Amino acid sequence: MSLKSHTPPKTDLFRFRKLAGDHIQKGQFADAERACAAMQSADPEAPDPWVFRARIAQRCNDFTAAADHAQQALSLSPHRLDVRVVAAESCIYTGQIAKALTALIAIEGEAETDLNILRQVCALYTQLGRHEAAYRCAHRVREGDPESLNHLYLLASAAIAVGKIDEAETLLDAIVKAAPEEGDIYYNRAGLRKQTPANNHIDQIRERLRFTGPDDHRHTPLCYALGKELEDLGEQSEAFKSFAAGAAARKARLRYQVREEVKAADHIIKTFDKNWWDNTPDGDDSAHPIFVMGLPRSGTTLVDRIISAHSAVSSLGEVNDFAYGVVRAGFPAKDKFDLIARTARADMQTLGSQYWGALGGYGEAGSYLIDKTPANYLYLGLIAKALPHARIVHVRRHPLASGYAMFKTLFRMGYPFSYDLEDIGHYYLAYHRLMVHWRGLFADRICEVSYEDLVDDQEAVSRDIIAHCGLQWETACLDFHRNAAPTATASATQVRQPIYRSARNLWRDHDEALQPLRKILEAGGVSCA
């Protein structure tokens, strides 16, 4: 029997595509590759197997191979928009930001009424912090199918990022009216403004909670929405109970062990020691980025807005370019511990220059560019070595205020430690040890900013920050809330207001409830006075 007789017919291509997609979603990459081989056998000229191979490689952190596979798909079908989207995405992971943006702009222009392509382009614009472009795409998607609740939600999210809060609230109200069972909408809406006794949704949220239990995925966002609105109305005890119920339900659905992140932090300290610091050559001395970092909800967005209000500065928001560079430098790492070891041996000049090249690709006008990715403190040794002229601003908050702020926030992605007070405590101690370690190596490079000091004396602390960044003082930095730049963080609405002190000591209303966190912190040597 000839080999040709075993070749699947082209009609099987759809079936193999579905198989490959299902296997990738489940992390079954060997099975996905077999489906790709079958696809290629069914139609050797089809780009689809290479598209799926690009996705497999990306999931396996082989960003270079992902880009190669995407280019192979593009060579087979240069005009197919879905293939071009995959190729554009691969450029993001390899630091080719300018190329990615150029491709996305072209695809957006040619997509016409292809709503699936426009949704994908919108997502990639959002990933790149191009929120105005994402809002533009979301508007087109909504116009193409105005009855779709998913499209209303897409536009509402984009509207929040660009500061169109009233529009976002109108859209979210419409979704609640059409689909009252959707829990996420209530949480998104609750955060748009401070609720008042005359204008809130507390009764509506409580009514919806009657139809959900802790095992229902809608229960968690409803609990967080209720907690936020109760807190706005000053009902602190009931608010905490609601946050705690939502956090417990969320944690029950996660397979997460904080001890693994604690081990990783301690391994970073052990690996990037004084010997490494003294004997590792510096990297790219031409780059001048500004890094703003700290735990989530510690005030990093506020500091970012203050600095980016300066005429010489542009903020890129929370981008992943340094993390992607670390992954590329450490490939092929078996796990996070192997990645740490491999990146300690990486070439700092390459790491720094590739990162700065990626930032330049965003096309921002400012001479100084801010990377406001909170978790960059994990890579701070690499940042300081690879970019010896980088300005580093670390924002910290009272440990119990910081812990409570994280506990009462429902993060869509990341920070799985934030749903348990004891996990927060152990994570905080690991973070604290890591920052003590970095300061021991290069304290002169780090501007330490206390959130509480900034709130109490905005001008003095802001002047110190601007001076550390090597900039001349501008009074616009005091009017940061007038900064029109988009932002998609959990603080998107707060940073469009002047500094206020009402949230400074909210945690003190929950001193008894926060005892599990306090005990762990104080046992680890962190003062909570």
Q: What residue spans define the domains of the chain?
A: 258-523
- Going by pLDDT thresholds of 50, 70 and 90, the confidence category of residue 484 is low
The CATH homologous superfamily of the domain defined by 258-523: P-loop containing nucleotide triphosphate hydrolases (3.40.50.300)
- Going by pLDDT thresholds of 50, 70 and 90, the confidence category of residue 286 is confident
Q: Is 107 exposed, middle or buried (0-12, 13-18, 19+ CB in 10 A)?
A: buried
How many angstroms separate the CA atoms of 241 and 221, rounded? 14
Look up residue 497 and give its two tokens: 């207001």
Helix (H, G, I), strand (E, B) or coil at 294: coil
Sign of CA dihedral 206, 218, 417, 225: negative
Express each pLDDT in 165-190 by its tens digit: 999 999 999 999 999 999 999 999 99
The alpha-helical segments, DSSP class H, found in 364-514 are 380-386, 399-407, 421-442, 451-456, 458-468
Average pLDDT of the chain? 94
Look up residue 92 and give its two tokens: 């993001």
Express each pLDDT in 190-205 by its tens digit: 999 999 999 999 999 9
How many angstroms separate the CA atoms of 60 and 18, rounded? 20
Tell me what percent of the residues of the chain surpass a pLDDT of 70: 94
375: pLDDT strictly greater than 50: yes
Does residue 509 or residue 504 have the better pLDDT? Answer: 509
Express each pLDDT in 397-408 by its tens digit: 999 999 999 999
Give the HSE-up count for residue 134: Cα atoms under 13 Å, Cβ half-sphere.
Answer: 25
Comparing CA positions, the residue from 491, 389, 397, 407 lying closest to residue 453 is 397
Residue 196 per-residue DSSP state? B
Mean pLDDT of the region 453-460: 95
Amino acid identity, position 374: P
How many angstroms separate the CA atoms of 253 and 420, rounded? 13
2: pLDDT strictly greater than 50: no
457: pLDDT strictly greater than 70: yes
Mean pLDDT of the region 205-222: 96
> Beta 446-450 vs 391-396: how paired, if at all?
parallel
Amino acid identity, position 346: A
Residue in the block written with tokens 């609990």: 223
pLDDT for res 1: 32
> Beta 313-315 vs 446-450: how paired, if at all?
unpaired
Express each pLDDT in 97-124 by its tens digit: 999 999 999 999 999 999 999 999 999 9
502: pLDDT strictly greater than 70: no
pLDDT for res 493: 56
Residue in the block written with tokens 């087979």: 76
pLDDT for res 9: 55
Express each pLDDT in 11-70 by its tens digit: 578 899 999 999 999 999 999 999 999 999 989 999 999 999 999 999 999 999 999 999
Q: Identify whether the C-beta of residue 287 lies closer than 8 Å to the C-beta of residue 387.
A: yes
Mean pLDDT of the region 289-312: 96
Does residue 191 or residue 503 have the better pLDDT? Answer: 191
